[in-house]
Amino acid sequence: MIKSLYQKLFSERMRYRFHVAMRKARAFFLQGSEFYCPCCGKSSKRFLKKGNGIESREHAVCPNCGSLERSRLLFLYLKNETEIFKNNPSILHFAPEESLKSLFLANLNYTDVDLNPNLATYAMDVTDIRFPDGHFDFIICSHVLGHVPDEKKALSELYRVLKKGGDLFLLSLMDLNSAQTVEDDRNKSPQQKLEAYGEKDLQRLYGNDFEERIRMASVNIQKIDYREHFSAEDRQRMALGDGNRELIYKVTKI
């Protein structure tokens, strides 16, 4: 009842700002050097826990910038292995993580979009991208595709607006122990989806056939576990995850 009243009294945008303010307040009391976030460059005594009712992940959220394991690893990959932070390339960022978005804002060719107008500059559906063919040098689409009912339409649109020679970075929650993606139309309620897929608004839980599902004639695909570039000590200090959320699929349009 309290949660319902809170949602009625405050808009989603206001609730989000309050959440960020509370997280940053907690960061003040977590000053230390045990954990380090490459996104904001700040250290903490510990990172914050994140859970969804089925799974709880220790040291998942940077208290300073809110980055998650996947955001930190993706940033390290983009910074070290790509030209995305050089010469203002055109970038499309779906469902932008604030910890990453803040690093791109100096780029005048950066465009952030989300289905929810409270979470990005532009409201847009990944199955209906309102930009011309071959428009972007880079596209970041992290933990979006698994939430989209029409997966093929979303992929078609992403590939359409990507320039030839451009790179799309796809990430998603995966079950690395499953050969096949789990997808069942009978899982309709949030609770059913949570139990079957691990998140209450997922349409499917990807398995090791993910590369096959996203493959089209016009692209090359590279599967990247960038955690392998770091020592076990660094992976722990930066909390880079276990691979179930952090695998990067680099899709290059040819």
Q: For 168-182, how does the pLDDT look when each residue is reduced to its tens digit (9 = 90+)?
A: 999 999 999 999 999
CA distances from 119 to 45, 81, 113, 159 (A): 29, 28, 8, 23
Provide the pLDDT for residue 252. 98
Cα-Cα-Cα-Cα dihedral sign, residues 106, 137, 130, 128 = negative
Do strands 122-123 and 42-44 pair parallel, antiparallel, or not at all (unpaired)? unpaired
- Entry pTM: 0.91
Measured in residues, the chain has a length of 254
Give the whole-angstrom CA distance, residue 76 versus residue 246. 12
Residue spans of alpha helices (H) in the chain = 2-9, 12-28, 69-81, 98-104, 151-161, 190-197, 210-214, 232-237
Provide the pLDDT for residue 7. 62
Provide the pLDDT for residue 18. 72
CATH number of 69-253: 3.40.50.150
Beta bridge partners of 169: 140, 250
Q: Residue 23 carries which side chain, given as an amino acid letter?
A: R
Give the whole-angstrom CA distance, residue 205 versus residue 222. 20
Ranges of the chain whose pLDDT falls below 50: none
> Looking at residue 215, what DSSP letter applies?
-
User: Where do you find CATH 3.40.50.150 in the chain?
Assistant: 69-253
Q: Which among 135, 141, 90 has a CA at the least distance from the CA of 115?
A: 141
Give the whole-angstrom CA distance, residue 102 versus residue 112. 11
